[in-house]
Chain A
């Protein structure tokens, strides 16, 4: 139980996917211009992460034992079809939610945080529950980073910033400072 808690906190804060591993930077820099959308995208990503973690565990346990070199191809196909499937499911069950998520759902396929999650969980030999908790931590961590950057960007729109630094350059420097702040969590625990 304690182990699971550490996995969660580690994925959420200490080894935050975006700010420490640099995964999922495309949506992080691309879609973080409003607080509302970045929160929604974070939730959708967390959901896909959870499903992927379960699928990856099933694949690892039953299929890939016999053919480890097919791992990458299997994972990417599974992720792409999961996203497609979830998209259809949401469209059928809750059209309102589908409209709210809009373009973000298909974009999740090319989010490297999802594939990264599946690969990291496999490399560390996580079991079923560990994998789920890890996915949850990573997803919430992703949402947290998105929301933090979006909040800062919304604030910065109200202040006068030199034209030269506006855009990606400023976002990267903000992200650097956020990342520095998150380094402070590294002292939370020492055992890896």
Chain B
């Protein structure tokens, strides 16, 4: 039973309530850094670290943080983790850090992270809060990676820096420029809408058939 509960929280973030595709949160880093798959993964990992770390801390301290100043407390906890992530990336992968630039400190203002602290971590026990954070972060990573991969393949003809096509491939440069981010995400969301639409239609059909049958 207990295992099921954690699993439920985990899978919720990955698919059903996916932070990007279903809730449309955390759009700024989502679009800004996904011009290549490597950047997307680095951003996803940094967000993962910050989200899981701050969820753990917030839910451990949830009984000591006064209600009136909770948002400020969350922000300071998040900012501390982001600073750690910033300096770690600078030390380990300086080139990626340079590419991401100001967007690492901007993880602080990612509404996804603050939203999870407010809606989940500050109300539930630590184990569930961490599972929820892991699920959300993995969902965010998947979204980043799918967007980054599509943009890099179309805009650069490569994936993770490895060329996929012969020299005859003409890169669709606009995809790695800002407009490509908006367009790609728009089309992906369109696909998700279509998927949901079909599913609703299917469920309606099933309900209709059941009604007729009985």
Rounded to whole angstroms, the CA-CA distance of A80 and B82 in the bound complex is 17
Q: Write out, one digit per residue, whether chain A residues 78-122 have a CB within 8 A of any chain B CB (1) or not (0).
A: 001000000000000000000000000000001110111001100
Rounded to whole angstroms, the CA-CA distance of A120 and B103 in the bound complex is 10
CB A110 to nearest CB in B, in angstroms, measures: 5
Within 8 A of B (CB), among A127-175: 163-165, 167-173, 175
Chain B residue numbers with a CB within 8 Å of A172 are: 182-183, 185-186, 189
Interface SS of A by simple majority: helix
Contact A19 B178 (CB under 8 A): yes
- Which of under 10, 10 to 19, 20 to 34, or 35 or more describes the interface residues of A? 35 or more
Within 8 A of A (CB), among B87-123: 87, 101-102, 105-106, 108-111, 114
B27 at the interface (CB under 8 A from A): yes
A123 at the interface (CB under 8 A from B): yes
Q: Which of A22-30, A32-40, A52-60 contacts B (4 or more CB under 8 A)?
A: A22-30
Chain B residue numbers with a CB within 8 Å of A73 are: 76, 79-80, 83
Contact B28 A24 (CB under 8 A): yes
Contact A168 B24 (CB under 8 A): yes
Contact A110 B114 (CB under 8 A): yes
B17 at the interface (CB under 8 A from A): no
A123 partner, pick from B31, B76, B102, B180, beta carbons under 8 A: B102
CB B118 to nearest CB in A, in angstroms, measures: 11
Known: A25-B27, A115-B109, A169-B193. A72 touches B102 (CB 8 A): no
Rounded to whole angstroms, the CA-CA distance of A73 and B32 in the bound complex is 22
Q: Which residue of chain A has its CB nearest to the CB of B115?
A: A110
Contact B105 A169 (CB under 8 A): no
A185 at the interface (CB under 8 A from B): no
Known: A76-B79, A183-B178. A165 touches B28 (CB 8 A): no
Residues of A within 8 A of B (CB): 19-26, 29, 69, 71-73, 76-77, 80, 110-112, 114-116, 119-120, 123, 163-165, 167-173, 175-177, 179-180, 183
Closest 5 CB pairs of A and B: A176-B182, A172-B186, A112-B109, A176-B183, A173-B186
Residues of B within 8 A of A (CB): 24-25, 27-28, 31-32, 71-72, 75-76, 79-80, 82-83, 86-87, 101-102, 105-106, 108-111, 114, 174, 177-183, 185-187, 189-190, 193-194, 197
